[in-house]
Structure 1
Amino acid sequence: MFLKTGTGWQIAAILIAALVLLPVAVLVGFALQGSIGLWPHLIRNVLANALMQTAILLAGVGSIVAVIGTVTAWLIAGFDFPGRRLLGWALLLPLAVPTYIIAYAYLDILHPVGPVQSLIREMLGYASPRDFRLPDIRSMAGCILLLGFVLYPYVYLPVRALFATQAANLLEASRTLGAGPVRVFWRIVLPLARPAIAVGMALALMETLNDIGAAEFLGVRTLTVSVYSTWINRTDLPGAAQIALVMLAIVVALVMIERRARRGQLYAGSSRRLLPLSRVRLRGAAAWGATLFCALPVLIGFAAPAAYLVRQAWRRVAFSGIPSRIWVEAGQTAALALTATLVAVGLGLIISAAPRLHPNALTRGAARVSTLGYAVPGTILAIGLLPVITFADRQISGVLGWFMDSTPQLILLGSGAALIHAYVARFLAIASGGIEAGMTRIPISLDHAARSMGQNPSGVFRNIHVPLSRASMAAAGLLIFVDCVKELPATLLLRPLNVETLATHLYGEAARGTYEDASIAALLIVLIGMLPVALLSRSIRA
């Protein structure tokens, strides 16, 4: 087969990187069409403020997701306290809720005349919002808090998976020698978890960088918002592409920082059977403190906005029932997301294994390039793909014209292949990053032993890498599936004709101001995301 030799793996890695780099290259072409003299204006009037707000947002969100994700993963894995089993999977639930839905929900929940502030005023004896009101949620602090409490599962998921699969010998030895819980956490747990924390933080920060809905709702003008406003309000695509290149540089820096943080962090294998981590039972105030710490992210990141969606959806159903077309849209959403997930995980597995099976500068460079698609907003990525897809459609239609009297004109666009390409290019970083982090726990000595027994690179991949990477593949697949269900900009531009997804349905209803109708689609997005979250949590416990 093609992948039996090291050269085959190198070519496969280069082709996968080209799949991601293609729309980025078209984006660069758009940027070069703009005037060079535009840069002083962009730097002075757009980039200075946008860069500052983006940097503050990234620093704040990064700190929150690192603390919440790591501490909750350690509490769930290492201790026993009331509600631990329920909270173990509930901590994943914010993954199912898009950030723009969270922002919209909290704008209503925390409105000066909304339920929270009205209840507080009633308890304190105030009659009007002029007498008492909480700080406005439309602020940088509000955006940092909301995004942090929604995106922390990007850290929680890989860190908990690491704790579930890593040998407990070091932890048990440290406890036997008298080390307390705090010292074990700082001296043993954090060094072991550094690679997973680095991967999770990088993904959360890239997701923050790409967010537009929540940032725009909450009044934070990030680089992504500047890209959209430059393109839509000024109809200046070259200028928008130039700003997007600045975002690309930031993501390249994030990837380099993440890899430097994981440099030298390798795991040694042992012939001894791995011991499961024994949990320490907490009692009294410590037990209830752990329960509260783990429950608070679930309440803020999922329970409160989900309750809001249920209330809004119930009002819509009580008024006119459930629209019949919503079920068709749910099926189309799941089909597109599942297809893209399978393709992305398969390509991510190949791009992660290639540097191990054929280590050189090309395979390592291809693995790095595969993460760049996550840097580009969905709309810009779709715009980069449109010229390529339409050109390919014309060529395919021309070839078919030699054999058919009537040929279809929108083959790739009409079949959904263009949208799948956008999803894969956008989220391949999740697959390659998560699977690569899992592969770092596979000792390289296993590869050498298999090769010494006559296995070619394909055999090592099939018999060693795939079986030992199933947990990381499942984790990456969950994240990709949920992100595909939530993805809106690329879906709006590249979905086939007469095909609606839940995200595009929600967008259309919200644009018309019919928020109760939009709440049904939003609630279904949440429900679709909850099932794989529960299945993944079960696999981690197993």
Structure 2
Amino acid sequence: MYSRLSFSWTASSWAFALLLVFPIIALVYEGLKPAEEIFQHLMATVMWDYILNTVLLILGVCIASLLVAVPAAWLMAMCELPGRKHLQWALMLPLAMPAYVVAYIYTDLLEYAGPLQGALRDVFGWQNSQDYWFPEIRSLGGAIFVITSVLYPYLYLLARTSFLEQSVSLMQSARLLGKTPTQAFWRISLPLARPAIVVGMSLVAMETLADFATVDFFAVNTLTRAVYDTWLGYGSLQAAAKISVMMLFVVVLILSIERYSRRKQKVFQKALTHEDDSRFVLLGWRKWAASLYCWSLVAVGFILPFAILINYARYYFAASWTAEFFQYSVNSLVIATIVALIATAIAVLVGLYRRLDTRPSTVLPSRLSSMGYAVPGTVLAIGVLIPFGWLDVQINDVMQWLGMKGPGLLFSGTMIALIAGYLVRFSAIAVGAVESSINKVSPSLDMVSRTLGQTPVKMVRRVHIPLIRKGCLAAILLVFIESMKELPAALILRPFNFETLATYVYQFVSDEMLEYGALPAIVIVLVGLVPLIFLNRSLEQAH
């Protein structure tokens, strides 16, 4: 190992890391300033409703995800069911569906004028809504239902992995003691999987907090929607920053609860994991009920919405196959490619800096580079606008002082802001993928290279880069896909008259004309399926 790298390598690693975390610092600084009149007005009128709705939404989605995902994860890991081989990856498919698209589809199906209520009125002879009760889809409960249907795979994936890692001997002991599968679940599997379940629920909670489009479509006032409305409606960057700081506090609180809940818990398990012959074999109606339950989750979260999208695209193909569709596809492709390449380059830089420099402080750049992923997109967007807006003002003031015409919004009104927001948001994905590959490189190779007199740069070029090539490709792919799908940050940071596929689809959803945006929505879904395919293959190889 090299005790110290060159100054340029060290300086560039720290510079990129600080640039990625600077929007968060600027956001906190702006949010802690004395409150403006707009923010005071919001606090005196609607802010507590926003906070209450946010808390209820997070709790509702977390509880609902817990109730649907954990049983499905246990059935896939511990039981032999019809179609289990296909079900275990199909249950992850809803992650590829944008929640706002699912919200529109189920609103169209379940609202008063929709086909379901219309059929019920025809069958039972009801004349109007006063003759019967039907749950209102455009409500907090409807938002919980839709968001749960697409986010439960986070919890399912972690819980299933935890169940699969549990020792076979534990289940065999439960059988010898005459325990039923249900008793084995409550007394053995569930307690051992609690750390993974807590982590999964924290992910679900943060994704729920970050959701903007679904709650906006259902007119549920949450903090995420408050940030968007305050900036674009009132034009108050400071008030938006203060609300964003509230959301940062919620994120920190969620992460703190997750870590505190497992502060003293240590789970030791034998290396021997589950084999096919150790699974519980459900018989009779139980196996078909369990299989039907799991397929119902897939149908609600993916099969039915995707089938309706395909039907829309088939009927409205001519109206969707337009020059705008191609232009916005190119916009998304260009932005996503730039962000993926830059994020991966930064990840390689800070990852190898941590690997080759033995000082304890070298871990900080990679940690700072990863902070943005836990922050909602709307919050990061405000954090990017604060320094970029200040920089634009300073540049224009200097140009006017020199007697020249200012360039206008050079940073905050261009693609630079959009790229910067995406980088802050998704660099953590690249850092994780690259560091995972770097950690697999044997330290002995570094020692041999040093013994042969190789400089750090030569060793990186000849040894590390070839060995971490797959990790870099994975980082590029994952960041590219996430950038293609990102909506909240794009809505705030995009330049004037600039659209991505995500914002293009959302406009149709907002106008309740998803039929014309079904084709770009299908593109987004298909792009989102790529990481799920890779993830499923890696899980099959691991188990």
TM-score per shorter chain, which class? 0.7 to 0.9
Partner Cα separation in structure 2 for residue 57 and residue 369 of structure 1: 29
What residue is the counterpart of 1:81 in the other structure? 81
Deviations along 1:19-71, whole A, 9 cap, x unmatched? 44211223234435653676654433233222111111111111122333332
CA contact (8 A) 1:478 1:536 kept: no
Deviations along 1:135-181, whole A, 9 cap, x unmatched? 211222221121111111121223334445x3634545534643442
Deviations along 1:245-266, whole A, 9 cap, x unmatched? 1111111111111222343555
Assess, with a 3 A threshold, how the Cα gap between structure 1 residues 364 and 487 changes in structure 2: closer, same or farther.
same
Letter aligned with residue 241 of structure 1: A
Superposed, 1:209-248 pairs within 5 Å as: 209-248=209-248
Deviations along 1:55-109, whole A, 9 cap, x unmatched? 1111111112233333222221222212222222221121111122122222211
CA contact (8 A) 1:199 1:434 kept: no
Superposed, 1:293-372 pairs within 5 Å as: 293-317=293-317, 320=319, 322-323=321-322, 326-327=325-326, 329-330=328-329, 332-334=331-333, 336-337=335-336, 340=339, 363=363, 367=367, 370-372=370-372
CA contact (8 A) 2:343 2:426 kept: yes
What residue is the counterpart of 1:144 in the other structure? 144
Counterpart check, 1:516 vs 2:515: yes
Segment of structure 1 superposing worse, 50-59 or 276-285: 276-285
CA contact (8 A) 1:103 1:217 kept: yes
CA contact (8 A) 1:252 1:372 kept: no
Letter aligned with residue 322 of structure 1: W
What residue is the counterpart of 1:277 in the other structure? 275
Partner Cα separation in structure 2 for residue 346 and residue 269 of structure 1: 38
Partner Cα separation in structure 1 for residue 269 and residue 449 of structure 2: 20
CA contact (8 A) 2:89 2:536 kept: yes
Larger Rg: 2
Deviation at residue 359 of structure 1 after TM alignment: 9.6
Letter aligned with residue 229 of structure 1: D
Segment of structure 1 superposing worse, 219-228 or 446-455: 446-455
Assess, with a 3 A threshold, how the Cα gap between structure 1 residues 234 and 497 changes in structure 2: closer, same or farther.
closer
Counterpart check, 1:422 vs 2:421: yes
Partner Cα separation in structure 2 for residue 477 and residue 128 of structure 1: 54
What residue is the counterpart of 1:174 in the other structure? 173
CA contact (8 A) 1:158 1:434 kept: no
What residue is the counterpart of 2:501 in the other structure? 502
CA contact (8 A) 1:162 1:193 kept: yes
Partner Cα separation in structure 2 for residue 16 and residue 505 of structure 1: 31
Deviation at residue 195 of structure 1 after TM alignment: 3.4
What residue is the counterpart of 1:529 in the other structure? 528
Deviation at residue 540 of structure 1 after TM alignment: 1.6
Deviation at residue 455 of structure 1 after TM alignment: 10
Assess, with a 3 A threshold, how the Cα gap between structure 1 residues 205 and 249 changes in structure 2: closer, same or farther.
same
Assess, with a 3 A threshold, how the Cα gap between structure 1 residues 479 and 9 changes in structure 2: closer, same or farther.
same
Deviations along 1:221-273, whole A, 9 cap, x unmatched? 11112222222222222111111111111111111112223435556697x7x
Deviation at residue 358 of structure 1 after TM alignment: 7.2
What residue is the counterpart of 2:289 in the other structure? 289
What residue is the counterpart of 1:95 in the other structure? 95
CA contact (8 A) 1:65 1:152 kept: yes
CA contact (8 A) 1:344 1:431 kept: yes
Partner Cα separation in structure 1 for residue 386 and residue 486 of structure 2: 21
| RMSD over equivalenced CA pairs, Å | 4.8
Counterpart check, 1:114 vs 2:114: yes
CA contact (8 A) 1:202 1:258 kept: yes
Where do 5+ consecutive residues of structure 1 fail to align? 397-407
Letter aligned with residue 174 of structure 1: S
What residue is the counterpart of 1:403 in the other structure? none
Letter aligned with residue 539 of structure 2: I
Partner Cα separation in structure 2 for residue 453 and residue 54 of structure 1: 52
What residue is the counterpart of 2:399 in the other structure? none
- Secondary structure in 1 matching 2:46: helix
Counterpart check, 1:67 vs 2:67: yes
What residue is the counterpart of 1:404 in the other structure? none
- TM-score for both structures, normalised by structure 2: 0.77
Partner Cα separation in structure 2 for residue 501 and residue 536 of structure 1: 26
Assess, with a 3 A threshold, how the Cα gap between structure 1 residues 239 and 98 changes in structure 2: closer, same or farther.
same
Partner Cα separation in structure 1 for residue 56 and residue 480 of structure 2: 29
Deviation at residue 348 of structure 1 after TM alignment: 7.1
Partner Cα separation in structure 2 for residue 159 and residue 348 of structure 1: 29
Letter aligned with residue 322 of structure 2: P
Assess, with a 3 A threshold, how the Cα gap between structure 1 residues 99 and 477 changes in structure 2: closer, same or farther.
farther
Segment of structure 1 superposing worse, 331-340 or 513-522: 331-340
Partner Cα separation in structure 2 for residue 256 and residue 421 of structure 1: 27
- Secondary structure in 2 matching 1:152: helix
- TM-score for both structures, normalised by structure 1: 0.77
